[in-house]
Structure 1
Amino acid sequence: MEKLVTKVLGSGGTALEPIDIAVIVLYLVVIVGLGCWVGLSQRRGTEGRSYFLAGGTLTWPVIGLALFSTNISTIHLVGFAEEGYKNGLAHGNFEWMAPFTLIALALFFAPFYIRSRVTTLPDFLEMRYSRGCRDWLAVLSIVSAIAVHIGFTLYTGGVVLKGLFGVPIVTSIVVAAVLTGIYTIVGGLLAVVLTESLQTIVLLIGSIIITLVAYSQVDGWDGLAASVDPVKLTMLRPASDPANLPWYSVFLGYPVIGLWYWCADQTIVQRVLGAKDENHARVGPLFAGFIKILPVFIFVLPGTLLLALVNQQKLPPLEDTKDAYAYMIRHLLPPGLTGVMAAALLAALMSTVSGALNSIATLFSYDLYKRWKPDTPDRKLVVIGRIATFVAMILAILWSPLVGRFETMYQGVNTVISHLAPPVTVVFLFGVFWRGASSVGAMTTLVSGSVLGFLVFLLGFYKDVTGYHVPFMMSAFYLFLACSAIMIVASLAYPHRHTSDSERLVWRSPLEALQGKAWPGLGNYKFLALLLFVTMVTLYAVFR
Structure 2
Amino acid sequence: MIATTDIIISISYIIFIVALGFWAGLSGKKNKTEAGEYFLAGKTLKWPIIGMALFATNISCLHLVSLAQSGFDSGLLAGNFEWMAAFTLILLALFFVPFYIRSEVATLPDFLEQRYNRACRDWLALISVVSAIVIHIAFSFLAGGIVLETLFGIDMFTSIIAIAVVTGAYTVVGGLRAVVVTETVQTIVLLAGAVIITVLSWHHAGGWKPVLEVLSSNQQLDKLSMLHGPSDPNGLPWYAVFLGYPVIGIWYWCADQTIVQRVLGAKDENHARTGALFCGFIKILPVFIFILPGLFAYVLYKQGTLDLEVLRQADGQLHTKGIYSVMITRLVPKGLVGVLVAALISGLMSQISGALNSIATLVSYDLYKRNKPQATDSKLVTVGRIAAVLALLLSIGLLPLLNRYESLFIGINDVISHIAPPITCVFLLGIFWKKASARAAQYTLWIGSLLGATVYFVGKIYPLNVPALLIAFYLFLACVFLQVTLSFVYPMQHTAASSKLYWESPLAPLRDKGWPGIANYKVLSLLLILIMVVLYWLFR
2:277 is equivalent to residue 291 of structure 1: no
* Residues 84 and 440 of structure 1, relative CA distance in 2, 3 Å threshold: same
Residue aligning to 2:494: 498
- Name the aligned partner's letter for residue 276 of structure 2: P
2:503 is equivalent to residue 507 of structure 1: yes
Q: Equivalents in 1 of 2:110, 2:32: separation in Å?
A: 22
Identity %: 57
Which string of whole-angstrom CA distances, capped at 9 and with x for unpartnered residues, describes residues 281-300 of structure 1?
10001000000000000110
Q: Equivalents in 2 of 1:411, 1:212: separation in Å?
A: 27
Q: Equivalents in 1 of 2:40, 2:144: separation in Å?
A: 28
Give the Å deviation of 1:63.
0.3
Residue aligning to 2:352: 353
- Name the aligned partner's letter for residue 37 of structure 1: W
Residue aligning to 1:489: 485
2:410 is equivalent to residue 419 of structure 1: no
Residue aligning to 1:6: none
Residue aligning to 1:8: none
Residue aligning to 2:331: 332
Residue aligning to 2:368: 369
Residue aligning to 1:226: 213
Residue aligning to 1:380: 379
Give the Å deviation of 1:44.
4.0
Q: Equivalents in 2 of 1:148, 1:89: separation in Å?
A: 23
1:524 is matched with which residue: 513, 517, 520? Answer: 520
Which string of whole-angstrom CA distances, capped at 9 and with x for unpartnered residues, describes residues 388-440 of structure 1?
11111111121223210122111001100000000000000000000000001
Give the Å deviation of 1:21.
1.9
8 Å contact from structure 2 (residues 421, 448) kept in 1: yes
Q: Equivalents in 1 of 2:384, 2:362: separation in Å?
A: 8
What RMSD in Å do the two structures reach over aligned CA positions? 0.9
8 Å contact from structure 1 (residues 73, 352) kept in 2: yes
Q: Equivalents in 2 of 1:539, 1:411: separation in Å?
A: 24
2:90 is matched with which residue: 91, 95, 103? Answer: 103
- Per the alignment, in what secondary structure is the counterpart of residue 316 of structure 1? coil
2:469 is equivalent to residue 473 of structure 1: yes
Q: Equivalents in 1 of 2:344, 2:384: separation in Å?
A: 27
Residue aligning to 2:243: 252
Q: Equivalents in 2 of 1:400, 1:184: separation in Å?
A: 21
2:19 is equivalent to residue 28 of structure 1: no
- Name the aligned partner's letter for residue 437 of structure 1: A
2:535 is equivalent to residue 539 of structure 1: yes
Which string of whole-angstrom CA distances, capped at 9 and with x for unpartnered residues, describes residues 154-194 of structure 1?
01110111011111011011111111100101100010000
- Name the aligned partner's letter for residue 356 of structure 2: L
Q: Equivalents in 1 of 2:534, 2:365: separation in Å?
A: 43
1:208 is matched with which residue: 187, 192, 195? Answer: 195
Q: Equivalents in 2 of 1:279, 1:57: separation in Å?
A: 12
Which string of whole-angstrom CA distances, capped at 9 and with x for unpartnered residues, describes residues 451-485 of structure 1?
000011112222xxx24111100000000000000
Residue aligning to 1:312: 303
Aligned length: 527
2:292 is equivalent to residue 301 of structure 1: yes
8 Å contact from structure 2 (residues 137, 355) kept in 1: yes
Give the Å deviation of 1:504.
0.5
Residue aligning to 2:26: 40
2:159 is equivalent to residue 172 of structure 1: yes
Give the Å deviation of 1:196.
0.2
Residue aligning to 1:151: 138
Q: Equivalents in 2 of 1:343, 1:45: separation in Å?
A: 30
- Name the aligned partner's letter for residue 283 of structure 2: K
Q: Equivalents in 1 of 2:280, 2:24: separation in Å?
A: 28
Give the Å deviation of 1:317.
4.2
Q: Equivalents in 2 of 1:203, 1:44: separation in Å?
A: 33
Q: Equivalents in 1 of 2:278, 2:53: separation in Å?
A: 11
Residue aligning to 1:10: none
Q: Equivalents in 1 of 2:389, 2:2: separation in Å?
A: 34
Residue aligning to 2:263: 272
Q: Equivalents in 1 of 2:273, 2:521: separation in Å?
A: 6
Q: Equivalents in 2 of 1:423, 1:179: separation in Å?
A: 35
- Name the aligned partner's letter for residue 287 of structure 2: V
Give the 4+ runs in structure 1 shifted more than 3 A: none
- Per the alignment, in what secondary structure is the counterpart of residue 407 of structure 1? coil
- Name the aligned partner's letter for residue 483 of structure 1: C
Give the Å deviation of 1:239.
2.0
8 Å contact from structure 1 (residues 103, 285) kept in 2: yes
Residue aligning to 2:316: none
Which string of whole-angstrom CA distances, capped at 9 and with x for unpartnered residues, describes residues 368-397 of structure 1?
000111011112111111111111111112
* Residues 111 and 72 of structure 1, relative CA distance in 2, 3 Å threshold: same
Q: Equivalents in 1 of 2:12, 2:150: separation in Å?
A: 22
8 Å contact from structure 1 (residues 47, 378) kept in 2: yes
Segments of 5+ residues of structure 2 without an aligned counterpart are: 313-318
Residue aligning to 1:452: 451
- Name the aligned partner's letter for residue 506 of structure 2: P
Q: Equivalents in 2 of 1:483, 1:395: separation in Å?
A: 30
8 Å contact from structure 1 (residues 419, 456) kept in 2: yes
Residue aligning to 1:78: 65
2:429 is equivalent to residue 443 of structure 1: no
Which string of whole-angstrom CA distances, capped at 9 and with x for unpartnered residues, describes residues 233-280 of structure 1?
010001212222110000000000000000000000000000000000
Q: Equivalents in 2 of 1:467, 1:408: separation in Å?
A: 16
- Per the alignment, in what secondary structure is the counterpart of residue 105 of structure 1? helix
Give the Å deviation of 1:217.
1.4
Which string of whole-angstrom CA distances, capped at 9 and with x for unpartnered residues, describes residues 118-177 of structure 1?
000000000000000000000110011111110110011101110111110110111111
Q: Equivalents in 1 of 2:66, 2:11: separation in Å?
A: 26
* Residues 65 and 15 of structure 1, relative CA distance in 2, 3 Å threshold: closer
8 Å contact from structure 1 (residues 460, 470) kept in 2: no
* Residues 520 and 324 of structure 1, relative CA distance in 2, 3 Å threshold: same
Q: Equivalents in 2 of 1:401, 1:197: separation in Å?
A: 31
- Per the alignment, in what secondary structure is the counterpart of residue 32 of structure 2? helix
8 Å contact from structure 2 (residues 2, 329) kept in 1: no
Q: Equivalents in 2 of 1:391, 1:230: separation in Å?
A: 47
TM-score (norm 2): 0.96
8 Å contact from structure 1 (residues 101, 258) kept in 2: yes
8 Å contact from structure 2 (residues 149, 156) kept in 1: yes
- Name the aligned partner's letter for residue 119 of structure 1: A
8 Å contact from structure 2 (residues 308, 326) kept in 1: no
Give the Å deviation of 1:220.
1.3
- Name the aligned partner's letter for residue 27 of structure 1: Y
8 Å contact from structure 2 (residues 235, 466) kept in 1: no
Q: Equivalents in 2 of 1:322, 1:400: separation in Å?
A: 15
